[in-house]
Amino acid sequence: MVRVELPAHLRALAHVKGEVTVEVSGTVSILSVLDALEAKYPMLEGTIRDHGTRQRRPFLRFFACAEDWSHDPPEKPLPEEVASGKEPLLVVGAIAGG
Amino acid sequence: MSVVRVLVGTRKGAFVLTSDGKREKWDISGPHFAGWEMYHLKGSPADPNRIYASQTSGWFGQIIQRSDDGGKTWIQPGTPPSETKAPDGSPKGESNKFVYDTSQETGAPLTTHQFYDGTQHPWEFKRVWHLEPSLTDPDTVYAGVEDAALFRSTNGGKTWEELSGLRGHGTGPQWQPGAGGMCLHTILLDPKNAGRIVIAISAAGAFRSDDAGKTWKPINKGLKSQYIPDPEAEVGHCVHHIAQSALRPELLYMQKHWDVMRSDNAGESWTEVSGNLPTDFGFVIDVHAHEPETIYVVPIKSDGEHYPLDGKLRVYRSKSGGNEWEELTKGLPQSNCFVNVLRDAMAVDSLDKCGVYFGTTGGQVYCSPDAGDTWAPIVRDLPAVYSVEVQTLS
């Protein structure tokens, strides 16, 4: 079970509070976690990565174990701590607009 | 007893304002979708409980919301379990998927438009500015988007397809963004001619289809825009908004960047009717529900100063279809008022005594229950108002 922490606006869209969890089969990567997340919460499709290009939206970043994974290949395996559920994958909205 | 429901889109959420036919006491619900930019909400004429809403964000992109109970609850079409199991097999989670037509058959020529610096720039979807539900089918709704294009859904907003004949008719490379972006902001459906659609784009101009959106032609004859290289060009005009008389759909009124215009032939030609307005710059324009020659505008000082002249918020009404205008000020601030009224932020109801409504970037929504003679704020302190639509319910 992989834990994912979403920005508040995406939690509202998904009608959830706090962290969400998803089942990922095979390699746990940004790609497989987002696939599982969108399958469980279809209302999030297009909000984290673009529908057409599947690229991360510019104002969103991915963090795992205090490391920025935003620019790593999405297929790259995430740390064991995330794959095992010990640590969450963080989807973080840029602090902008202030 | 009649009920009026006012749908307000703001910079930080949506609000639903409800009153009886007297339009004196109002119930306010909201913010719905708190914190999101709500560009536009509009109810279906065929089913008033069906409301579509455009929710957007620089972080998370475009969301389409739909209510089937008059705004009490909302869903993203295609995502609830009841809809993902729909027999039509619509893809789930695609209600926010707006992809330009790039097919070889219809989309191949649709490549670039003119950018601010005059170079060519590829079309990039940014957001939905305007949603226009079908006059007859609650599941059919049109979306005007930035970068300018027209999309249609025929399944309640679950999926969208571009009506690519608009971008494909040949002048697309000459279209350019206005200061707010290259948006398709006006969609008018003709109640007496099912195949006729009129749309407007900043800054390209007005276009009309007479075959339900397959083919289009520019309808800008008579527009004169001194700020473009050829003031009478076929396209390139910064049309801010167009309003249509429901009783005489061929009668159109336009608030252009500068100039107020009218057309008596569904846009075939336009005549300036700015007349005695103190300034003919502005964004909104609307038509009385029962009097096709009675129209309303809110003059704004200039394109560089987006607020009312002299700090006085004044609606101007013409009862002669333009040229002769009277200022309406009773109940509106007449000093130190420096708000703007954006292009989709005026609407009318269809009660016997026609109500007129508009919202400001200062967060006020004003109502006149007597066709403009007197005004009172329904609310004063909302986030900046992007859009106002009215449903008249019985």
pLDDT interval class at B107 (50, 70, 90): confident
pLDDT tops 70 at residue B250 = yes
Do B53 and A87 meet the contact criterion of CB atoms below 8 Å apart? no
A32 touches chain B (CB under 8 A): no
Contact with chain B for residue A57, Cβ under 8 A: yes
Can you tell me the ipTM of this complex? 0.94
Structural domains of chain B, count: 1
- What is the predicted pLDDT for the residue at B239? 97
CATH number, domain with residue B194? 2.130.10.10
Average pLDDT of the residues in B323-335: 98
- Per-residue pLDDT, averaged over B99-116, amounts to 85
User: Among A9, A42, A97, whose Cβ lies nearest the Cβ of B93?
Assistant: A42
Task: Give percent above pLDDT 90 in chain B.
Answer: 89
CATH code (residue A11): 3.10.20.30
Examine residue A94 and state whether it is found in any structural domain, yes or no: no
H or E stretch covering B218: strand B217-218
**A80, part of any domain:** yes
CA distance A75 to chain B (A): 22
Please tell me the predicted confidence (pLDDT) of residue B89: 65
- Convert B197-237 into a string of H (helix), E (strand) and C (coil): EEEEEECEEEEEECCCCCCCEECCCCCCCCCCCCCCCCCCE
Q: Do B84 and A42 touch (CB under 8 A)?
A: yes
Residue A98 has pLDDT above 70, yes or no: no
Residue B90: pLDDT band (50, 70, 90) is low
A24 domain residue, yes or no: yes
Q: By percentage, how much of chain A surpasses pLDDT 90?
A: 91
B36: nearest CA partner in chain A: A9
B87 pLDDT band, cuts 50/70/90, is low
pLDDT at B266 over 60: yes
Beta bridge partners of B348: B356
Q: Cis bond leading into B31, ω under 30°? A: yes
Task: Tell me the residue range of the domain where B105 lies.
Answer: 3-393
- Dig out the tokens for B18 from the structure: 């409800």
Q: Is residue B198 over pLDDT 80?
A: yes
Q: Indicate if the pLDDT at residue B85 is higher than 70.
A: no
- Evaluate whether residue A31 is within a structural domain: yes
Domain span at A66: 2-88
**Number of domains present in the structure of chain A:** 1
Looking at the complex, report in whole angstroms how far the Cα of residue A65 sits from the nearest Cα belonging to chain B: 23
Q: Among B384, B372, B288, B300, which Cα is nearest to B345's?
A: B384
Distance from the Cα of A76 to chain B's closest Cα (Å) equals 24
Tell whether omega for the bond before B194 is within 30 degrees of 0, i.e. cis. no
Burial profile B167-203: b = 16 or more Cβ within 10 angstroms, e = fewer: bbbebbebbbbbebebbbbbbbbbeeeeebbbbbbbb
Give the model confidence (pLDDT) of A81-91 as tens digits: 999 999 999 99
The pLDDT of B342-371, averaged and rounded, is 98
Q: Quote the minimal CA–CA distance from A93 to chain B in Å.
A: 7
To probe the interface with B, which of A6, A11, A13 has the most B CB atoms within 10 Å?
A13
Taking CB atoms and an 8 Å cutoff, what residues of chain A touch B36? 9
Contact (CB<8Å) A51/B59:
no
Contact A57 B94 (CB under 8 A): no
- Mutation choice for A interface testing from B59, B73, B101, B161 by most A CBs within 10 A: B59
Domain contains A95: no
Cβ atoms B359, B345 nearer than 8 A? yes
Whether B299 has a pLDDT exceeding 90, the answer reads: yes
Peptide bond before residue B203 is cis, with ω within 30 degrees of 0 = yes
